[in-house]
Amino acid sequence: MPSVCFYFQVHQPYRLRRYTFFDMGQNHFYEDNDSNREILRKVAQKCYLPMNQLLMEQIEESKGRFKAAFSLTGTVLDQLEAWAPEVIESFQALAATGCVEFLSETDAHSLAFLYSAEEFRGQVAQHDARIEELFGQKPQVFRNTELIYSNDLAKCAEDMGYKAVLAEGADHILGWRSPNYVYQPASCSKIKLLLKNYRLSDDIAFRFSNKQWPEFPLTAEKFAAWVHEAGMAAGDVLNLFMDYETFGEHHGESTGIFQFMKALPDCVLNHPDFDFRTPSEVADSYAPVASLDIPHYVSWADAARDLSAWVGNDLQNDAIEAAYRLEPRVKALHNADMLRTWRRLQTSDHFYYMCIRSDDAVHKYFNPYGSPYNAYINYMNVLGDFELTLQKMEEEGGKPGWQPAPGSLA
Amino acid sequence: MRVLMFGWEFPPHLSGGLGTACYGMTKALASKGVDIRFVLPRLGGAAPDMPRRLQLCSASGVTMRMTPQDYQAILGRLGEAGQGRLVPEAWRNWSGSVMRAFWEKHLHIEPLDSALFPYATGQSYAEVLNAGDFSRRIREEGWAWASMPRGAHDGPMVEDTINLHGGYGPDLMTEVFRYSQAAVQLAGSSDFDLIHAHDWMTYPAGMAVKAATGKPLIVHIHALESDRSGMNMNTEVASIEKAGMEAADVVVAVSHYTKSRVVRLYGIPPEKIRVVHNAVTRSQARSQLSVPQTSDEKRVLFMGRITYQKGPEYFVEAANLVLKHMKNVRFIMAGSGDMLSRMVAQVARLRLGSHFHFTGFLKGENVDRMYAMSDLYVMPSVSEPFGIAPLEAMAYDVPVIISQQSGVSEVVRHALKVNFWDVRDMADKICAVLRYPKLADELVRNCREELKNIRWENSADRLIRIYERCIEKHAGGGC
């Protein structure tokens, strides 16, 4: 009995304001909260609220047969709490149905796993505590930022007690194998690996509104037929992983994306052999068919499906290494404001904006800077001021000798 | 394909980027089999590395001949000029009065007593001021020179030798006029398929030759009067630019930026304008002078004419901001121009003198040396139709900051870009390049790749397609 497993990524970064060399040492306001608030309010109206409402109706109408999972980053939770608390409430309502699972990740949507084991575990623990407090469930499945994955990550997640971990079902790691089974990561004995079916996922996430696509327009009936065909051919689970902003934001309401999602659960369930399961249910239901050895990092970004979108050039490496070099100094201060600000500076988006290979339309869409060089300059200025502040506090014995706390006014 | 090309400067005698561009462009065209006859006001020394298909010739020294009968015949046919075609025997003999009548009919010059000249240096500016009423000079000397000698109507054959200085002196308008006379005479002695004229000084020549031969005319815009002078436009120059663009079959602009200005300021229909970006020659990237690093001091370079167009005052203001926060930096302003003394005074007023240096006009090896010893090149131009200099700096592995108000920013991705007026942003970017070595390295590495695709060969390919379409259309009676 094949299952369909939806997981939606919900994330908004704290974009930085234009922070020049001449701001350094003068003020510590790093975030462009006018634009952050505006974007968050817009996405909440266009996507989060209507889509949560839609999913709630689907769960009710299907009497709990429709299920889905979410991963909400700490940065989007912070922003929702500040500027759109009604969205948090609607997620809590979804959580109360018992049909929605919340996943674990690094709170700051960071690349900490690549740079600091201690910081990685700290952020994951922070995030899990927060999810449990907000939604009353302790995450059991881990997904790393941007689905960055390797054997080492799986081992680490297993040690931390998760029952499953998610990754991109990239061709170069799967070879002839199908993403539609549960696997066991090499060198692990308990944790299971769920792989994104990128063809079916991207049909919704990227191609749905593309009029040049031969399959345009995509109907729920057509998509369900593909799902049935793929599931019946071979496989236990079809993992449809995508950004939540796909619905109403990347594809606007006028594209018919909401009607599509409204009709889809019924179309999938029309086939008696199919059901919806959350990632932990999938892990509980299906045994791994094989061990999968993935020594090098994979991610879900770009065609390369590697780390080059974040740490592929010298600008990115210089910036991120400079940020992580501050770790012992930040932690020695035991100052909550400084720790929060430093963590927000780890958000992967900051480094994504510095990607030079930005001929990609997807990169342009998300990039608030005109160029990767501008992104680097701005980030380095902010980090420079953060380090100056740190130094000052160290000299003053850890007591904040300045007002207000660095980061934002919010 | 044979092209009769009109230009005002060519290596080794350069004033601005025009000669550099003409050299790169004609060399690439010639290498692709285009025969070019390139007419200059006068020849001064041999240009380096001349391809076989490119022939330079001088307008100075051309002898004008005509008989009174010819003169009368041409005057009679003048009405057709601009629309119809004159018979070859007639245009061979165009001379002063005919040309003057042509100018008066087709250029609609409204004389204005302005001393502002393209590429005018501080020195020539002063000369012009001393020379007094400029338009009067043109009318009395230029026009008078051009008109037929007394008694010519019933006299024998008249001979006159054109004599030009070249360059951009105070008698520029007279020179432009004489150059156009010589152009028609030279056109009679060569066979060609189309006319290609670079910048306004040569538009009258292009228009006259088109009127005389009926051959299609392409005018190439390297700079506009409005770029050079902002609101203080010389209306004589602007009206020549407009007349040239209107008379042309195709207008070529060096950037989309320039194209949009031509549409907006001169009312030329956009479908008539093609964009061909400039490039940089390989040989310009050749020399890697090794300059000993004496200290860990950084050098920031402005190199260009010190005129309104190049935005030198924004460079000084940015330097002022940077030097408030960083001490181991030197700013260098290389070049000369009518704003030089104002810039020196501004630097002194801001007390930047110990870290801000003026080199005067540089040429030859000193230009190479200057690029090679710089850590950053800044082009803060107020309005730059293209701007080859940043490409030259890139060829020396120097990172560049360029103004958004430039054509070159359309072809270079791996440069930092600023609005010329945003001095704070400019200063921030200068600090970033100097403080973050990875930024400079990444810019340089990517620029090196990028330069490989900014080649005159590509520009020449585009031009050849424009030539072909123009000749085709012309043969079909479309022109």
Alpha carbon B402 to its chain centroid, in Å, reads 19
CA B39-B44-B50 angle, to 5 degrees, is 65
Q: Is A316 in the B-facing interface, judged by CB distances under 8 Å?
A: no
Distance separating alpha carbons of residues B179 and B140, to the nearest angstrom: 18
| pLDDT tens for each residue of B313-345 | 999 999 999 999 998 999 999 998 889 999 998
Longest Cα separation, chain A: 69
Q: Does the beta-carbon distance from A314 to B417 stay under 8 Å?
A: no
Mean of pLDDT over chain A = 93
Asked if A164 contacts A282 with a C-beta cutoff of 8 angstroms, the reply is: yes
Q: Does the beta-carbon distance from B425 to A20 stay under 8 Å?
A: yes
Q: Does the beta-carbon distance from B325 to A373 stay under 8 Å?
A: no
The CA distance from A300 to the nearest CA of chain B, in Å, is: 26
Show me where the domains of chain A are located: 3-292, 311-395
pTM of the predicted protein model: 0.80
pLDDT of residue B477: 62
Low-confidence stretches of chain B (pLDDT < 70) are 14-16, 45-48, 64-160, 170, 282-295, 477-479
Q: Is B428 in the A-facing interface, judged by CB distances under 8 Å?
A: yes
The CA distance from A314 to the nearest CA of chain B, in Å, is: 6
Q: Does the beta-carbon distance from B416 to A373 stay under 8 Å?
A: yes
Q: Does the beta-carbon distance from B432 to A318 stay under 8 Å?
A: no
Asked if B374 contacts B333 with a C-beta cutoff of 8 angstroms, the reply is: no
Show me where the domains of chain B are located: 2-279+459-475, 282-451
Q: Is A318 in the B-facing interface, judged by CB distances under 8 Å?
A: yes
pLDDT of residue B150: 37
Distance separating alpha carbons of residues A377 and A266, to the nearest angstrom: 50
B413, B417, B438 ranked by CB distance to A314: nearest = B438
> Is the confidence at residue A307, as pLDDT, over 50?
yes
Q: Is B282-451 assigned to CATH 3.40.50.2000? A: yes
Give the active site residues of A.
Answer: 146
CB atoms near residue A109 (< 10 Å): 28
- Nearest-CA residue of chain A relative to B445? A314
Q: Is B325 in the A-facing interface, judged by CB distances under 8 Å?
A: yes
- CATH topology agreement for domains B2-279+459-475 and B282-451: yes
pLDDT of residue A408: 55
Task: Report the topology of domain A3-292.
Answer: 7-stranded beta/alpha barrel (3.20.110)
B325, B416, B446 ranked by CB distance to A21: nearest = B325
Overall average pLDDT of the A225-236 stretch: 93
pLDDT of residue B212: 80
Query: Which two three-digit tokens encode residue B198?
Result: 């670079």
pLDDT interval class at A119 (50, 70, 90): very high
Asked if B273 contacts B246 with a C-beta cutoff of 8 angstroms, the reply is: no
Q: Does the beta-carbon distance from B439 to A22 stay under 8 Å?
A: no
3-class DSSP state for residue B195?
Answer: strand
- Nearest-CA residue of chain A relative to B413? A371
Longest Cα separation, chain B: 79
Q: ipTM of this predicted complex?
A: 0.73
Q: Is B431 in the A-facing interface, judged by CB distances under 8 Å?
A: yes
Most B CBs within 10 A among A373, A381, A383, hence the mutation to make, goes to A373
Q: Is A253 in the B-facing interface, judged by CB distances under 8 Å?
A: no
- Nearest-CA residue of chain A relative to B323? A22
Query: Which two three-digit tokens encode residue B403?
Result: 């103004």
A21, A22, A376 ranked by CB distance to B439: nearest = A376
CATH number for B2-279+459-475 (one of 3.40.720.10, 3.40.50.720, 3.50.50.60, 3.40.50.2000): it is 3.40.50.2000
Taking contacts as CB-CB distances below 8 angstroms, the residues of chain A near B404 are: none
Name the nearest CA neighbour of B181 among B295, B63, B305. B63
Q: Is A377 in the B-facing interface, judged by CB distances under 8 Å?
A: yes
Mean of pLDDT over chain B = 79
Most A CBs within 10 A among B434, B439, B449, hence the mutation to make, goes to B439
CA distance between the termini of chain B: 18
The H or E element that residue A390 is part of is helix A372-395
A22, A370, A377 ranked by CB distance to B424: nearest = A22
- Nearest-CA residue of chain B relative to A21? B428
| pLDDT tens for each residue of A2-38 | 999 999 999 999 999 999 888 888 899 999 999 999 9
Query: Which two three-digit tokens encode residue A406?
Result: 């660095």
Q: Does the beta-carbon distance from A356 to B442 stay under 8 Å?
A: yes
Cα-Cα-Cα-Cα dihedral sign, residues A221, A262, A201, A190: negative
